Amino acid sequence: MAEEKMEVGIGFITEVDRYLFNNGKHYEIYEKLGAHPWTYQEEEGMYFAVWAPHAIQIGVVGDFNGWNPDLNPMTCLAKSGLWEAFIPNLGAGALYKYAITTETGKLLFKADPYAFEAEYRPQTASVTTDLSGFVWNDKKWMEKRKKQDPMDGPVSIYEVHIGSWRKKNREEKDGFYTYVEAAHELSEYIIEMGYTHVELLGIAEHPYDGSWGYQVTGYFAPTSRYGTPKEFMYFIDYMHQKGIGVILDWVPAHFPKDAHGLSDFDGKPCYQYADPGKGEHPDWGTKVFDYSKYEVDNFLIANALYWVEKYHVDGLRVDAVASMLYLDYGRADGEWIPNKNGGNENLEAIEFFKHLNSVVKKRGDNAMIIAEESTAWPKVTDSPEHGGLGFTSKWNMGWMHDFLEYMKLDPYFRKYNHHKMTFGLTYFTSEKYILVLSHDEVVHLKSSMIEKMPGLLEDKFSNLKVGYTFMLGHPGKKLLFMGQDFGQFHEWDEKVALDWHLADEPLGEELKNYVKDLLHLYQEYPALYEKDYDWEGFSWINANDNEHSIFSFIRYSADKKNNLLFVLNFTPVERKDYRAGVPKKGSYQLVFDETHGLYESGKKANTVLSEEIKWDGQNNSISCPLKPYGVAVYHFKG
């Protein structure tokens, strides 16, 4: 590090700030590092601060000084690795970088890790920004969120990539919708369909469209592809006013090697592990964050809180959790370093997750932290006090894999694979799960959801309908990627918009309306979400009818007074005389089927009376005729 020229600094960053940051507990460090409007010695200007512990010299460069490293030098603060500078008469909207002289004398031009805004790609400069002054109108939403655990209510997530959801007929900015335009049109669609939340891919600034936002260079900057930071605030505020939650994909696992980014930030490994056995992902060609450094942990935890507190987001879906937990993830023998106990667990990442989730739980007013964790790591959603990682919920990747493998089969062979659909019900209480059919399942030659289905065209749509109904009835919150609710045929491509004309064609419109009815059924009946992680909320009627490939089960409401019976036929064979056992004598009202979708509320003509015929281990049963790929959902009182 350069010779320290000052002990106290100019007063923006205090000794307490430095102490907390160097110990990993300055949860608002983004209010100090980066670029901030400030008045110093009666002059208005912009204050800059950056962490670069190995730097010899740093200058702030930009369009205001001809990108000259010598005109606005920074000063190193004592024993902290922090550098600062104040530039008078500089306001919002200026382009800037840090010109960092390394220990070898090399000059690096780096974007600001804490920048609130970034230049439109392919340009890579940071942009000075004033985030103050936005007027939020979502007080009602935020107060409601604070009072209610999201895992106790309905959560049906619409996963969206703004850049390819729709496109405008215009040349500027690649035809992208702005945050403001997307807020209005997207909210209308979400409300119409009945989703409760939207999850956005690729919001933090990233240089390459093809990474979908999973290789981040600007962790504190909403991508300029769709507008400004305050326009993104508008997006979230507008969604909240419409009763829609907002979840962001978040990537604390790795970052790219782009020259302007975090890689070897000050000439040495700064944000990444120094040893390539820990510091690089060989499969992805990216760098791994060094979770042993307090300052790196602080960067990430403060970033999570930044989105939750500064932007009011309702959740962060943490990408690639397994890659963080396992030292040998994607590495062959000899390419990884065991931990101090000789194991393959990344003990530092484990502690990072516990710290992150504890802090967000304490401060986040019920904001969700969702793990995309693809292994059987135990207690992902249990509290750190009980040996868990503390996540709010976890993507159920095992269910997703089994479900898709089953649905791809010719119906004739499904009877030999019946267990693929029942296995998820043996462990659904072990974590707080979200059932996902995400973007990862409809790219890279995996086919869209409709194209995964067997049979001729109409068979494909019928298969998908009964499959989605099973997903809705299965315990766990729900997520579906855009385009899969109306039968998008081609795989998702981030470069082009969805084929929205398909939603107006007969089969696509029918599927869209069917999914809409499913989502409204979900919100109308608390039995489908109140006891998602409790055996009191679910019971099989018949899990073993593999010969007919029919599944029947019950979802119970918390008070056991408003329950739903599902009977689902996964073959094209009609079962006119099918019978299902029921747990009690009485009437069973058909509220949903494959022909009508959701029946009108209160309609009684479709009521079936039970008979004292023992069936499926029950003393009573009902006649339940099923059409090919037939669906029957009955409501009954406790």
Contact 310, 131 (CB under 8 A): yes
Tell which residue, 524, 536, 522, has the closest CA to residue 638. 536
Q: Are strands 245-250 and 197-200 parallel, antiparallel or unpaired?
A: parallel
What's the sign of the alpha-carbon dihedral 479, 485, 491, 492? negative
List beta partners, residue 597.
593
Task: Please answer whether residues 477 and 529 qualify as being in contact, where contact means their C-beta atoms are separated by less than 8 angstroms.
Answer: yes
Catalytic residue (choose from 264, 319, 373, 431): 319
Torsion of the alpha carbons at 609, 615, 617 and 622, rounded to the nearest 10: -20
CA distance 75 to 84: 5
**Among this protein's residues, is 372 annotated catalytic?**
yes
Task: Quote the CA–CA distance of 324 and 250 in Å, as a whole number.
Answer: 13
Distance, in Å, from the CA atom of 567 to the CA atom of 466, rounded to the nearest integer, reads 10
Q: Among this protein's residues, is 577 annotated catalytic?
A: no
Give Dmax (Cα) for the chain: 91
* H or E element, residue 188: helix 179-193
Spatial separation of the C-alpha atoms in residues 483 and 398, rounded to whole Å: 23
| List 209, 290, 372, 532, catalytic entry | 372
**Helices 294-305, 347-363: inter-axial angle, 10-degree rounding:** 30
Contact 481, 441 (CB under 8 A): yes
Q: How far apart are CA 188 and CA 190, in angstroms?
A: 6
Q: How far is CA 205 from CA 15, 122, 209, in A?
A: 31, 11, 10
Token pair in block for residue 411: 């119906």
Supply the residues annotated as catalytic.
Answer: 319, 372
